[in-house]
Amino acid sequence: MISTEKLTVLLENTQEIAKEAGAFIRRERQHFNLDRVEHKGFNDLVSYVDKEAERLIVNRLALIFPEAGFITEEGTNTTQAEVFNWVIDPLDGTTNFIHGVPIFCVSIALMERDEVVLGVVYEVNLHECFYAMKGGGAFCNDTRIRVSEAKTLSESLIATGFPYSNFEMIDKYLAALKSLLTTSHGARRFGSAAVDLCYVAAGRVEGFFEYNLNSYDVAAGTLIVAEAGGSVTDFSGGNDFVFGRQILATNRKIHEEILSDLKKVWD
């Protein structure tokens, strides 16, 4: 088990690395050329900015914690270790970035076996650095954050993500969305799952749900939500939300209410 002292040092260094990558992304956005966009799959976009940011992050993390392996979105390093692995999304919200919509971030998590023990999400445009380590609370720019105190879905704002490539579950998703839209303050689609999770942690929205996500989209954010006092599960109420490709994160108080709606649709 990693010590609290070691984790504290890693967390501080990881924040600086995320900010360095964020500064690179911000500079590149100023003169970004759409001709340099690639397609990994239908509506699955990537650019040289994603790849170069990931190389920067991987190289820096390898220096501060050489024994850890990597799970990366762009595959610049796919060497996994038995105990510790960094889980990296160098640019979560690539489609937003490409179109000039100012909501995108750097997401970095450290997992010890199957548990996230450190998470950093740096929102590039607002210069907001969300971070947490296991047992240490959640913060944004050195200010402690907590989930919302809203007690019911009827007084809650929900974030979600629309499917963009895997449409097999779209009817179920729309049914779930319809139910939530008619029983809450509404829904928002920001275009970055990592940002969505941090907004739950900071009390800006009460809940977030999405399916067909990858580990690097959510790993860091799930710890930040948990350390801010929230709940995170998959759609069945279980713990397979990092690699299980479906996630529900809430302020805890409305978790069962949303989960009940999701179960009706997804089951």
- Asked whether residue 180 is marked as a ligand-binding residue, the answer is no
Q: Are 165 and 42 in contact (CB under 8 A)?
A: yes
Report DSSP state, residue 37: E
pLDDT tens digits for range 101-145? 999 999 999 999 999 999 999 999 999 999 999 999 999 999 999
pLDDT tens digits for range 31-83? 876 666 665 544 344 578 889 999 999 999 999 999 999 999 888 898 999 99
- Asked whether residue 92 is marked as a ligand-binding residue, the answer is yes
Q: What is the pLDDT of residue 33?
A: 65
Phi, psi at residue 90, to the nearest 5°?
-70, -25
Alpha helices by DSSP H, listed for the chain, are 4-29, 48-64, 94-99, 170-181, 193-201, 215-227, 255-266
Name the CATH code of domain 4-144 (choices 3.40.50.10170, 3.10.310.30, 3.30.2270.10, 3.30.540.10).
3.30.540.10
Confidence band, pLDDT 50/70/90 cuts, at residue 91: very high
Determine what percent of the chain is predicted with pLDDT higher than 70.
94
| CATH hierarchy code of domain 153-266 | 3.40.190.80
In the chain, which residues fall in CATH 3.30.540.10? 4-144
In the chain, which residues fall in CATH 3.40.190.80? 153-266
- Asked whether residue 89 is marked as a ligand-binding residue, the answer is yes
The total of other beta-carbon atoms located within 10 Å of residue 230's CB is 26
3-class DSSP state for residue 23? helix
Q: Are 89 and 21 in contact (CB under 8 A)?
A: no
